[in-house]
Amino acid sequence: MTKKGKMKFSDIILQGMQDTLYIWKREFRLTVRDQGVLIFFILVPLLYPIIYALIYNNEVVRDVPVAVVDNSHSFKSREFLRHVDGTPDVKIISYSSNMEEARGLMRNKDAYGIIYIPSSFSKDIARMEQTHVSIFCDMSGLLYYKAILSACTEVSLDMNNDIKIERAGNTTDRQDEITRYPIKYQYIPMFNPQNGFASFLIPAVLILILQQTLLLGIGLSAGTARERNQFKDLVPINKHYNGTLRIVMGKGLSYFMVYAIVSVYILGVVPRIFSLNQIGLLHTLIMFIVPYLAACIFFAMTCSIFVRNRELCFLIFVFTSIPLLFISGISWPGAAIPPFWKAISYIFPSTFGINGFVRINNMGATLDEVRHESQVLWIQAGVYFITTCLVYRWQILNSRLHVLRKHREMKNKRLLDSREAVE
Amino acid sequence: MKAERKKKYISLYNVSKRECKNLVSRPIYLFCMVIAPLFCTFFFTTLMGSGLPTNLPIGAVDQDQTSVSRNLLRNLDAFQQIAITERFTDVAAARRSMQRGDIYGFFYIPHQTAKKAIAQKRPTISFYTNSSYLIAGSLLYRDMRTMSELTNGALARETLRAKGLTDDQIQSLLQPIVIDSHPINNPWLNYSVYLCNTLIPGVLMLLIFQITVYSIGVELKEKTSREWLRQGNNSIFISLWGKLLPHTIIFFIIGSFIDVYLYCYLKFPCESGLGPMIFATLFMILAAQSTGVVMIGTLPTLRLGLSFASLWGVVSFSISGFTYPVMAMDSWLQGIANLFPLRHYFLIYVDQALNGYPMIYSWNSYLALLIFIFLPFAVINRLKKAMLYYTYQP
């Protein structure tokens, strides 16, 4: 101890750097050689995004099959149905004679909705009375409902306008237009113009994959380190491994290297393969992803102390992906998340990673607009760096303790042995 | 003969007892079989507890500043799902706010809208939604569009009154055809009903896959599989039965609890009554356990088996079609979707609880689950060989 105290400060730094590099090299080699870790670091990031993108590739649901009950049998009702059938969202598969027959089609899953036109339909219109078209939707998927409702609404609005014009008795086309809509309105869906499912979900999934595979991979390698160690400790006994900072930095650096490359593939190549939105600026993205990766790596290293066996990380971490995706506020709007869960969501880098990345990548936000997210990520990176150091410090002390204890045991045993021999 | 049978029962009992000791001795079982499923149940139902998001923040760009525009925005703000939280002077500022994530959309009323409308010059108003947030975007779209229609109606009413029509006539004139929508058995469009009914069983199923694979794989890894087999009278059949029976019981208790919680406590639509759903839950649990056996049987390495289980379990959520319909996927994926037990459970849930059809309509989904239950026969010999001769490689 006294010897170390006399060491020059510059020497300590130099030695620290050397040890960091040594650990970095060793961890990198371990990572590359460990088939299990490679599955998480390479195979999963490579394949998962592709599976997801394939599932959601068609973006929207088209031609939802519906059954029709047309009790009006009139020119007007046929016009209405023809227009509905003409929309891309809905396809009429059957004209049923009554509701019971149409319900039968729904029970057999041949149809996902019923459009019911009352017998008074065209009479009402001719009499200048309001008429009601009923639609019944299977609620197993909201997209069916959305498709059927929007198709029918669209058609009814168009027909309403024509009827209005007929009745208003205008004299010129211009007047017709004005009666139709005194004020025009337009809807502009921004950043995902076709309201597609892939463009909405995939970017969030991509970011989540980074965090989850890091949790799994780092957890796995921590489990392996424990299994290989004779005292089931996380930190090996090795002259380079004496200093919390160098272990944490060395390991962190080697994970960061691997993930810098993985990120390029996941965030750069995958969206391009499936031609998803990608309007972010490169340097913004880099400036944002660096703190995200750092936060994820140190978060995963902190969590890895819970992993006592190699395979436990599967059981602990995999299922969390689903709640994490929901808590991020990408599908269930963040503004509607109860405060308690909102507070919990601050623990995970993915919450901010997802929100920031979606904004940069899908909405072309600059660093200024994701300042809040990137600040939180830097703070998380700092906090988790400290917690990682603490848990590693604790682990180092533990492993020293174990060695000392073992040493003492051996000594006692030898003493006993020698005493026995003397006797 | 009788003694033989008795011996079998005794060894079944012994294996079960041995497994119960395992379950108690490792905290991971408690975590994955009880804590994690219950946590997720609680999490999802409270996260989406309101059913529909309310007061989604939007912005307003009102350059018109007349009674017409103010009226429009005030009425828009009164919609339950909308709250106008910010006002901007131009569209660029509103867009930046959207990029910052402060608002989910905005309404734009340009200069002199009211003046132009009165002069019959047909001005244009616009509404923008951030469709990167799909749910928020489509909810906002609905309300903003309704508001635009209503505003038009109000203005057209003025013109028509001037032409001497009565209010009743005007009403039917403005909207001759009305669409009445009837979302069957979920009239509130409750998202919690729509998602939790499949999300929570999905999580349970993922954990069943993993626990089944883990409990078998860990015997291989720790070289206790021979002893396990010996206790099971050297019959792989008895060994597996005895081992998985305690799991089935625990999962069934948890699964039934979830059903009771969803359908009795939260009063989610359950047209069929609780009985058929508990029956379906039992089928789902057995199918998931059998799938787990198939997974470790085909890849008798703990790590690979667990990778398989995780992959299958996680992909289930997307491919079972409860968020994004299977009919919208490519046809080869529609075929693959049948290989996921969650898909069949989801179809049963829709038929029974949501729509209340007689059970006969779900026969093919039940048949599919039944096939899953019998699938382990295909890998049972391979698994036995692994149990006898396998050596663990990390």
A399-413, B73-87, B224-238: least confidently modelled range? A399-413
Tokens representing residue A406 in the block: 């073992």
- The last residue of one of the domains, among B174, B202, B220, is B174
d(CA A335, CA B139): 13
Contact A363 B127 (CB under 8 A): no
> Nearest Cα to A220, choosing from A315, A85, A145?
A315
Report yes or no on B359 lying in a domain: yes
Query: How high is the pLDDT of residue A380?
Result: 96
Cα angle B317, B321, B322; round to 5: 80
Same domain, B44 and B26: yes
Asked if residues A187 and B127 have their Cβ atoms less than 8 Å apart, the reply is: yes
Nearest chain B residue to A126 by CA distance is B176
Average pLDDT of the residues in B124-129: 91
Q: Count CA atoms within 13 Å of residue A182 on its CB side.
A: 23
Inter-residue contact A134 to A125 (CB < 8 Å) = no
**How many residues does this entry show for chain A?**
423
Q: What is the pLDDT of residues B255-270, one digit of tens each?
A: 999 999 999 999 999 9
From chain B, pick out residues whose CB is under 8 angstroms from the CB of A326. 43-44, 47
Cβ-Cβ contacts under 8 Å, A195 against chain B? 131, 134, 137-138
Measured between alpha carbons, how far is residue B244 from residues B37, B218, B219 in Å?
A: 18, 14, 13
Task: Give which of A91, A115, A142, A176 to mutate to test B binding, by max B Cβ within 10 Å.
Answer: A142
Nearest CA in chain B to A50: B315
- Number of domains making up chain B: 2
Q: B109 is in which domain, residue-wise?
A: 56-174
Evaluate if residue A177 carries a pLDDT over 70.
no
Q: Above 60 in pLDDT, residue B394?
A: no
Which pLDDT score is estimated for A215?
A: 93
CB B15 within 8 A of CB B228: yes
Torsion sign across C-alpha atoms B287, B293, B298, B299: positive
CA distance A251 to chain B (A): 21
- Residue B263 sits in the same domain as residue B281: yes
Q: Please check the confidence at residue B11 and state whether its pLDDT lies above 50.
A: yes
Average the pLDDT over B381-389 and give the result: 88
CB pairs under 8 A between A and B: 325
Q: Which residue of A has its CA nearest to B321?
A: A141
Residue B299 has pLDDT above 80, yes or no: yes
Q: What is the pLDDT of residue B223?
A: 86
Bridge partners for A113 per DSSP: A137
Assess whether B251 and B129 both reside in one domain.
no
B60 within some domain: yes
A204 vs A360: CA distance, rounded Å: 12
- Assigned domain for B370 exists: yes
- Are A130 and B329 inside 8 Å of each other by CB? no
Decide: A137 and B163 in contact? Cβ < 8 Å.
Answer: no
- Assess contact for B305 and B296: CB atoms under 8 A: yes
**Range in A89-103, A172-186, A187-201, B286-300 with the lowest mean pLDDT:** A172-186
Residue of A nearest to B204 (CA): A319
Chain B from 284 to 343: CB within 8 A of any A CB: 302-303, 306-307, 309-310, 313-315, 317-319, 321-325, 327-330, 333
Residue of higher predicted confidence among A413 and B108: B108
What is the DSSP code string of B176-188? Answer: SEEEEEEETT-TT
Nearest to A185 among B100, B148, B169 (CB): B148
d(CA A327, CA A338): 10
Say yes or no to pLDDT of A119 above 90.
yes
Q: Please state the rounded mean pLDDT for residues A200-228.
A: 89
Residue B245 belongs to a domain: yes
B146 interfaces chain A, CB cutoff of 8 Å: no
The pLDDT of residue A179 is 65
Query: Which tens digits make up the pLDDT trace of B164-188?
Result: 777 777 777 777 888 888 888 888 8
Alpha-carbon distance of B179 to A134, in angstroms, equals 6
CA nearest neighbour of B133 among A341, A352, A201, A29:
A201
Ordered structural domains, chain A, with CATH: 2-56+197-413 (no CATH), 64-180 (3.40.1710.10)
Output the CA–CA distances (angstroms, integers) from residue B80 to A329, B76, B91, B144, in the order listed. 20, 9, 24, 12
pLDDT tens digits, A155-173: 988 888 888 777 766 666 6
Residue-level pLDDT at A176: 65
For residue A292, give the amino acid letter: Y
The conformation of residue B116, written as its DSSP 8-state character, comes to H
When the pLDDT of each residue in chain A is averaged and rounded to a whole number, the result is 87
Tell me if chain A has a CB within 8 Å of the CB of B167.
no
More reliable by pLDDT, A237 or B324: B324
- As beta bridge partners, residue B314 has none
Residue B1 has what pLDDT?
A: 65
Same-domain status, B169 and B243: no
Q: What is the pLDDT of residue A85?
A: 95
Residues facing A95 on adjacent strands: A68
Per-residue pLDDT for B156 more than 80? Answer: no
DSSP 8-state secondary structure symbol assigned to residue B327: G
User: Do B194 and B275 lie in a common domain?
Assistant: yes
Does residue A130 surpass a pLDDT of 80? yes
- Comparing CA positions, the residue from A391, A57, A146 lying closest to residue A247 is A391
pLDDT band at A322 (very low <50, low <70, confident <90, very high): very high
Helix (H) or strand (E) segment spanning residue B87: strand B82-88
Q: Is residue B106 part of a domain?
A: yes
| Identity of residue B230 | R
Amino acid at A346: Y
Task: Provide the sign of the torsion angle of the four alpha carbons B8, B9, B14, B16, taken in this order.
Answer: positive
Average pLDDT on A298-320 reads 89
Substitution target from A183, A187, A206 for chain B, most B beta carbons within 10 A = A183
How many DSSP H helices and E strands does chain A contain?
A: 18, 5
Chain B residues closer than 8 Å to A200 by CB: 131-134
Half-sphere exposure of A377 (CA within 13 A, CB side): 27
Q: Which is it for strands B105-109 and B124-130: parallel, antiparallel or unpaired?
A: antiparallel
Q: How much is the pLDDT for A3? A: 46
Contacts of B307 in chain A (CB under 8 A): 39, 314
Tell me: do B258 and B371 sit in the same domain: yes
B252, HSE (Cβ side, Cα atoms, 13 Å): 14
Chain A CB contacts of B46 under 8 Å are 338, 340-341
Q: Which residues contact B221 (CB under 8 A, 6 or more apart)?
A: A311, B302, B392
What is the identity of the amino acid at B78? A
Distance CA B134, CA A197 (A): 8
Cα distance from B138 to chain A (closest Cα, Å)? Answer: 8
| Domain-located, residue B95 | yes
* Residues A87, A92, A98, A104, Cα dihedral to 10°: -130
Residues B99 and B246 in one domain: no
Same domain, B121 and B75: yes
Q: Has residue A286 got a pLDDT over 90? A: yes
In terms of domains, do B251 and B120 share one? no
Q: Of B145, B174, B203, which residue constitutes the final position of a domain? A: B174
CA B338/CA B334 separation, integer angstroms = 7
Could you tell me the two tokens for A198?
């892939």
CB contact under 8 A, B149 and A39: no
**Same domain? B238 vs B381:** yes
CA B377-B341-B268 angle, to 5 degrees, is 140
Contact A160 B53 (CB under 8 A): no
Q: What is the CATH number of the domain that holds B109?
A: 3.40.1710.10
Contact B132 A168 (CB under 8 A): no
Q: Contacts of residue B147 in chain A, CB cutoff 8 Å?
A: none
| Average pLDDT, integer, range A324-340 | 90
What is the DSSP code (8-state) at residue A304? G
Can you tell me the mean pLDDT for B52-58?
89
Domain final residue pick, B127, B145, B174: B174
Determine the pLDDT at residue A421: 74
Q: What residue has token string 């604790």?
A: A394
In A34-74, which residue ranges form alpha helices assigned H by DSSP?
A: 35-38, 44-55
Count of alpha carbons within 13 Å of A312, Cβ hemisphere only? 18
The per-residue pLDDT for A189 is 86
User: pLDDT exceeding 90 applies to what percent of chain A?
Assistant: 41
Paired tokens of A50 = 């592709």
* A227 with B99: Cβ contact below 8 A: no
| Contact between residue A153 and residue A164 where contact means Cβ atoms under 8 Å apart | no
Q: What are phi and psi of A189, to 5 degrees?
A: -75, 115
| Other C-beta atoms lying within 10 Å of the C-beta of residue A45 | 24
Is residue A34 pLDDT above 60, yes or no? Answer: yes
Torsion of the alpha carbons at B330, B336, B337 and B342, rounded to the nearest 10: -160
pLDDT at B146 over 90: no
Chain-centroid distance of CA A363 in Å reads 17
ipTM: 0.90
What CA–CA distance (Å, rounded) separates A172 from A174? Answer: 5
Please say whether the dihedral angle defined by the alpha carbons of residues B219, B222, B223 and B226, taken in this order, is positive or negative: negative
% of chain A with per-residue pLDDT over 70: 93
**Contact state of A183 with B155 under an 8 Å Cβ cutoff:** yes
Nearest to B117 among A125, A183, A315 (CB): A183
Contact between residue A333 and residue A327 where contact means Cβ atoms under 8 Å apart: no
Report residue B5 as tokens.
Answer: 């049978």
Q: Are the beta carbons of A341 and B47 separated by less than 8 Å? A: yes
What does the pLDDT look like over A372-412, one tens digit per residue?
999 999 999 999 999 999 998 888 888 888 888 888 888 88
pLDDT tens readout for residues A103-115: 999 999 899 999 9
Q: Where are the beta strands (DSSP E) in A138-204?
A: 184-190
pLDDT, residue A168, reads 67
Report the residue from A146, A319, A338 with minimal CB separation from B49. Answer: A338
> Which residue of B lies nearest to A132 if distances are taken between CA atoms?
B178
Residues B305 and B287 in one domain: yes
Indicate whether B281 and B318 sit together in one domain. Answer: yes
For the cut 90, the answer to whether the pLDDT of residue A327 exceeds it is: yes
Confidence of residue B393 (pLDDT cuts 50, 70, 90): low
DSSP secondary structure letters along A84-143:
HHHSSSEEEEEEESSHHHHHHHHHTTS-SEEEEE-TTHHHHHHTT--EEEEEEE-TT-HH
Integer-rounded Cα radius of gyration of chain A: 32
**pLDDT, average across residues A24-52:** 85
What is the rounded average pLDDT of the residues A252-258? 90
Yes or no: say if B277 and B270 are a contact pair by the CB < 8 Å rule.
Answer: yes
Residue B183 lies in a domain: no
pLDDT at B153 over 60: yes
| Whether the predicted pLDDT of B392 surpasses 70 | no
User: What angle (nearest 5°) sits at the alpha carbon of residue A260, between those of residues A257 and A262?
Assistant: 110
* Domain-located, residue B179: no
Q: Which residue has the higher pLDDT, B79 or B287?
A: B287
